[in-house]
Amino acid sequence: MSQTISASATQPGSATALRPIAELHVHVEGTLEVELMVKLARRNGIVLPTYDADVLREKYKFDSLQSFLDIYYENLAVLKTEDDFYDLATAYLTRAAAAGVRHAEIFFDPQTHLLNDIPIEVVFGGFSAALGDARTNLDVSSGLIMCFLRDQGADAAMQTLEQALPFRDSFIGVGLDSAEVGFPPSLFTDVFARASAEGLRRVAHAGEEGGPDYVWEALDLLGVERIDHGNRALEDPYLVARLRDEQIPLTVCPLSNVALRTASSDLSQHPLLNMLDEGLLVTINSDDPAYFGGYIDDNLTAMTEALDLSPAQLDTLAENSFTASFLPEADKIRYTAEVSKYRAER
């Protein structure tokens, strides 16, 4: 399964030439590029409507979160073996390293694969091997965050956590994702309490489609340490004050927001500048880059062009990404020093 991977051999360029950054909101299943999906389908004897990558990609026009999720889950049926999961994670980490990513905290959805009759040990085996090889060959540190599918309910989430605990050393935290509206964080209080008791870090998607009340619940009932998305938090000045005062991170995904119309249909109207002006600990991430128009560097480039971000603001976003990570303090300091070095040398 192991193979040699190097950032210097990838596009768009070597990670060392770019501003160092951490990615804290990326779904590894959402990095399944069409070309890899076709390769895995052929390898596993899975019939696709077409094997033409361009034709398949034409379906990636979404008018809601659910319209995206329908295609997203359908495509994941090609993942069958440890090698498949290894190849998926390796492809993401190689591309991320080429974008300047030095550390990644990667979401994955075991329930999706369990529903496809894939044993959880196969999922952990492939992903863990890929993350280990990336540390050695790409000098990219990483950790897995196991997300619960909110539409599958709290009982299924607890069952999934129980199934995953024998692999406790293979993941650093839990999250909450999938369809947001109608599935508030309050439904998952018990499973997050159990995860906390196991020493797992906690995050949750909130304030993407759901309102500020979802963010309040995630903080107060689930005890999350980061809010994924959180755009709609800006609608509540008291919530904004709390996020600022407690420096609770927001993992914002601009190209995703535009593709799904969850923040604005135009990047020039994205609330990122408001978040920075409010003193929020905001970070930029790619979410599901195979579907939403690009990886973390693409998001940064698009936002720089749309909002005329300054080099100082980009440095702040990079520093925020390490501050908001679950890295040990010494590693946060080391990576932040890399950002300072980049600033001094540019």
Question: Please, are residues 127 and 86 in contact by the beta-carbon 8 Å criterion?
Answer: yes
Residue with tokens 């689930």: 222
Q: Helix-strand-coil percent breakdown of the chain, rounded to 5?
A: 60, 15, 30
Pull the structure tokens for residue 42: 């052929």
Please, how many CA atoms are within 13 Å of residue 257, restricted to the half-sphere of its CB?
A: 27
A 10 A CB-CB count for 269 gives 11
Torsion, Cα 131 135 138 141, to 10 degrees, reads 90
Question: Please, are residues 126 and 1 in contact by the beta-carbon 8 Å criterion?
Answer: yes
Cα of 16 vs its chain's centroid, Å? 22
Residue 211, judged by CB atoms within 10 A of its CB (0-12, 13-18, 19+), counts as middle
Backbone angles phi, psi at 24, to 5 degrees: -120, 0
- CA–CA dist 285, 43 (Å, integer): 31
Q: Which residues pair with 204 in a beta bridge?
A: 227
Name the residues annotated as catalytic. 208
Work out whether strand 250-252 and strand 141-149 pair parallel, antiparallel, or are unpaired.
unpaired
Pull the structure tokens for residue 299: 């998001």
